[in-house]
Structure 1
């Protein structure tokens, strides 16, 4: 029996506005689970306005999670994510073995791009304040975005631990 549920498609081209960005993120998480992406990179100064705490986002991440997967989070700081996305924090703890988190802090040259990167598709919020940007499969644009993320990654330090050990 065919599945008649609409499958959100990954967008190509420009987008404008918070609702458009949220829809793109939700579609990306659904595609990751459906297509079994091996790696996902989320990059943002603080993830304050990402819908990562939504039940649908966590359900999609849960469906995507598996051995051999890699989820990378890069930020300037994670305090907003820890406080503002209550469902995401426990998911991150459970899947610590596939999640890598780094923060640049206020290091010089640490302008963290607001982006989603995968080996075949990307989203880049060029104007995060207004949630305006581009998405697509264009290889040169995807490569340039990954280079920008990698530059920040190099100066970043491990952050957002799954647990805090203490005495």
Structure 2
């Protein structure tokens, strides 16, 4: 397939590209955001996409600074975590990483949706280009390794 690049500037565009990335993934999803407040992970549409992904054996990794927003506003995601906790890993960043403000989703190390700053919806989606995911993937691995346990299905406190 040929590389596809889609710049975006609105919440609607971000949510649409994120759904595309979630729907395309088959093996791995790696997500980072300060709090996932604008990701709509608890929406029925994203719940269906993630359930299909996990049912087929995909692995989901999320890292956030704070999980209170998801605990409060995403009960479907908490049920997903309970149902598929063996395939989902959620971590909380350490204090020294709390200044990070970007936001991204990497699917199967070939697709990425990234916002340049989590307070804004300006960003880009790139599909079918592993080279374009490499920098963010390396960043995710570093963030992951410097983060600790997070949200669990039966407890709070991401």
TM-score where L is the length of structure 1: 0.81
**Partner of 2:119 in structure 1?**
129
Q: Secondary structure at the match of 1:143?
A: helix
**Partner of 1:48 in structure 2?**
37
Deviation of 1:109 (Å): 6.7
- Kept after mapping to 2: 8 A contact 1:73/1:101: yes
Distance 1:75 1:41, change over 3 A: same
**Partner of 2:153 in structure 1?**
162
Gaps of 5+ in 1: 1-9
Distance 1:57 1:109, change over 3 A: closer
**Partner of 1:100 in structure 2?**
89
Q: Does 1:139 align with 2:137?
A: no
Deviation of 1:23 (Å): 0.8
Equivalent position to 2:6, from 1, 13, 22: 13
Deviation of 1:106 (Å): 2.4
- Kept after mapping to 1: 8 A contact 2:42/2:73: yes
Deviation of 1:92 (Å): 1.1
Deviation of 1:145 (Å): 0.5
Q: Secondary structure at the match of 1:95?
A: helix
Higher relative contact order, chain-length normalized (CA < 8 Å, sep 6+): 2
Q: Hey, what's the Cα distance between the residues in 2 that align with 1:116 and 1:44?
A: 9
Gaps of 5+ in 2: none
TM-score where L is the length of structure 2: 0.85
Number of positions where the alignment pairs a residue of Structure 1 with one of Structure 2: 151
Distance 1:12 1:40, change over 3 A: same
